[in-house]
Chain A
Amino acid sequence: MGLTLPDGGAGTEVSTMSPNWVTTRLDFLSNWGRANSLWPMPFGTACCAIEFMASAASRFDLARFGMERMSFSPRQADVLICAGRLPFKLSPVIRKIWDQMPQPKWAISMGACASSGGIFDTYTMVQGIDTIIPVDVYVPGCPPRPEGLIYGIQLLQKKIKGESFLDRDLREEHLLRPDGLFLPAEKIDEVSEPFGNSVHQTRSA
């Protein structure tokens, strides 16, 4: 996908098969099914989870998008929705849940804290869950209203409908690297830099 491969990767094999009428029809069918029966793995840690519950309840009704079944086992889940801040102490947990989810799988980072650490630029907090697991859709807000989450889910559905089974990279498992991190260390430090109001707080030794 134009990105450099992690060290020790087998290298990209260029598919000899090019998209044709059969493969695109198959893609259409499988993507239609996948996009409309996303089973969420709710990972609710904070106030975003309240909005997530509201999204699932009758007024907003996620069932309209094929998400009526909350999958409290990662083994049967399709999309991990991290609703709320993620402390460092929980990071091995979300990593384990993500590793337990079978392909195809996607992740939604719901709210400011899950996406960037939010106001919690402190010693306890992961500065964005994308330093732990790959994320497909970020939903901004503090917390996002149910409409916001539903819009994020629709974006994910749109993304799924554009996938092709010829693209093997899509289904590649992104495990932890040999150094025990998901992203390179300098990348984590870069995305975790203070921003906004928190630049006024200095990091003392």
Chain B
Amino acid sequence: MTEASPSVAALRARFGGAILRHLVSCGDTIVYVEAARLLEVMTWLRDDPGQRFDYLTDVTAVEYRDQERPLEVAWQLRSLGRKADLRVKVELDQRQPLVVASVFDLWKGADWLEREVFVMFGVTFSGHPDLRRILMWETYAEGFPLRKDFPLRGHFSRAEQTRQALSANAEAHYSLEELSIAAAYDELPADMKERLAHGERGGVK
């Protein structure tokens, strides 16, 4: 299949200039969207009866070796009912702060996916309720490992990496707090409730 998805024409008709360009790669349609209007486009893609992209397969980012090229954030959408796919991309200028709107309010599955992009690429998703590191530990200070300027072995010496890792609190990473625990809130220990009440995890009352 080398033809673009019919969603592209529909998007252009609906949003005009917000759809920057599109291309077909390996049978997949990629649509580049203006960052400022991302949420609007995504909401329409999910809710329009002709689109119904009800499943967010993946969120990821791409940084090219060519430093002039912008960093791309990619959303892979799937319509389970229509059996159709669409990839939406936003280009972020590396000279500016890497900020893009969170789609958490549209697809709850974006929660951990966006956190992963945040920890690996340093892209901030504005509107995300709980944008903490997810793969590296919370006090990780070396930077964003999947960026091109990140050395393979990390910035710090091995001894410093070991020291920082050993000083981490092992319990903190494998607690119930990592999970969505709003339903179990009343059964939590008092000290954990106390911490949650101060907004360590935004989604809980």
Contacts and interface: CB of A to CB of B under 8 A. Distances in A.
A122 B166 CA distance: 17
Interface string B128-144: 00000000110000100
Given A88-B165, A179-B163, A201-B152, A127 B170 contact: no
Interface stretch (B53-61, B72-80, B154-162): B154-162
Interface on chain B toward A: helix, strand, loop, or mixed SS?
Answer: loop
Contacts, number: 75
Nearest to A97: B170
Given A96-B170, A180-B167, A88 B150 contact: no
A95 B166 contact: yes
A123 B120 CA distance: 12
Contacts of A132: 162, 166
Contact of A93 (B150, B158, B170): B170
Contacts of A181: 159, 162-163, 166
Contact of B136 (A89, A92, A121): A89
A186 B158 CA distance: 9
A91 B166 contact: yes
Interface residues of B, number: 25
Q: B136, B154, B159, B168: which has the most chain A beta carbons within 10 Å?
A: B159
B109 interface: no
A186 B157 CA distance: 10
B163 A126 contact: no
Q: Top 6 closest A-B pairs, CB basis?
A: A123-B154, A185-B159, A192-B158, A88-B165, A92-B170, A188-B159
Interface of A: 88-89, 91-93, 95-96, 121-124, 126-127, 131-132, 176, 179-182, 185-186, 188-189, 192, 194, 201, 203-205
